[in-house]
Amino acid sequence: MMFRIARSREGGEINHYDLYKIQTRKGMTVLDALFQIQDKMDASLSFRYSCRGAVCGSCAMLINKEPRLACRTQVSMVIDQSMKLKPFPPIIEVPHGWDKETEILIEPLPNFPILKDLVVDMTKFFDALEELKLWESPTDGDETRIQSPKDRKKIERYVNCILCAICFGSCPVNYEKEEYLGPAALAKAWRFNQDTRNPDAKKYLESAQQPKGTPMCDLIMNCVKACPKGVAPGGAIRKMK
């Protein structure tokens, strides 16, 4: 199996693509393949990783033009998969020479500045959490608060977000509008707003509804299709709108 990988030594933009031949084995993931390259062929290839089990959110990248977690993507299944995303430039523009039938194309996650190869600058993604103050402001007390299983279930979906930024990278609005806070932060605001334990739940909703928040979303729903954890941020945004 051949891998065509976007390279950017100094960051900024993709400078060229390198082609590598991978020795595949049953069960091999795209992350395994990247390590094979780093170990055996090209020590200069940079990409992020940690858990290799789809829980830490480190390894989001564009795989055959679809944003995925490298560690959760089987090499053998890449070519047949399709998320049916609404197209926007980074997922349409195909590099010269890419043979779709035989090569897996690997590129950095769109909508973020490239730092090196597949490593992108996620500052604005995490800054959005701080800007919206997405945390509880705890009150004093020495007992746990009560929450019914039914109320707990309301936030289950949103609590599962691993902050991998795949939704942000799949969003045509994030592509066009630098200031848009993006699906994950807004879905997290909804998580805090819907948490029945929260005494001042309203403030999360109000901050999510600021001009560069929910009003900017065009309900394209790429985030819902691409999210590896079934968080469905678009659904939350629709409710907040």
Q: Indicate whether 80 belongs to the interface with another protein (CB under 8 A).
A: no
Beta strand ranges found along the chain (DSSP E): 2-7, 16-21, 60-63, 66-69, 103-107, 114-116, 119-120
Q: Indicate whether 163 belongs to the interface with ligand SF4 (CB under 6 A).
A: yes
Site string for ligand FES, 104-123 (x = CB under 6 A): --------------------
Place of tokens 């992108």: 120
The Cα–Cα gap between 33 and 3 comes to 9
Q: In the complex with ligand SF4, which residue's Cβ is closer, 105 or 184?
A: 184
Q: Which of 161, 171, 189, 216 binds ligand SF4 (CB under 6 A)?
A: 161
Q: Which of 96, 139, 178, 199 binds another protein (CB under 8 A)?
A: 139
The Cα–Cα gap between 107 and 154 comes to 36
Q: How many CA atoms lie within 13 A of 225 on its CB side?
A: 16
What the block records as the tokens of 57 is: 């959110």
Q: Which of 19, 51, 201, 219 binds ligand FES (CB under 6 A)?
A: 51
Q: Which of 2, 16, 19, 50 binds another protein (CB under 8 A)?
A: 50
- What is the 3-state secondary structure of 21-71? ECCCCCCCEHHHHHHHHHHHHCCCCCCCCCCCCCCCCCCEEEECCEEEEHH
Q: In the complex with ligand SF4, which residue's Cβ is closer, 173 or 187?
A: 187
Q: Indicate whether 172 belongs to the interface with ligand FES (CB under 6 A).
A: no
Q: Please state whether beta strands 60-63 and 66-69 pair in parallel, antiparallel, or not at all (unpaired).
A: antiparallel
Q: Indicate whether 75 belongs to the interface with ligand FES (CB under 6 A).
A: no
Q: Which of 99, 130, 176, 200 binds another protein (CB under 8 A)?
A: 130
CB of 178: closest distance to ligand SF4 in angstroms? Answer: 18
Place of tokens 């066009």: 176
Q: Which of 1, 18, 74, 79 binds another protein (CB under 8 A)?
A: 74
CB of 69: closest distance to ligand FES in angstroms? Answer: 5
Which of ligand FES, another protein, ligand SF4, none interacts with 195 (beta carbon under 5 to 8 A by kind)? another protein
CB of 112: closest distance to ligand FES in angstroms? Answer: 16
Q: Hey, how many other C-beta atoms are within 10 angstroms of the C-beta on 72?
A: 16
CB of 144: closest distance to ligand FES in angstroms? Answer: 30
Which whole-number Å values give the CA distances from 154 to 157, 167, 188, 195, 236, in the listed order? 7, 21, 13, 8, 11
Q: Indicate whether 230 belongs to the interface with ligand FES (CB under 6 A).
A: no
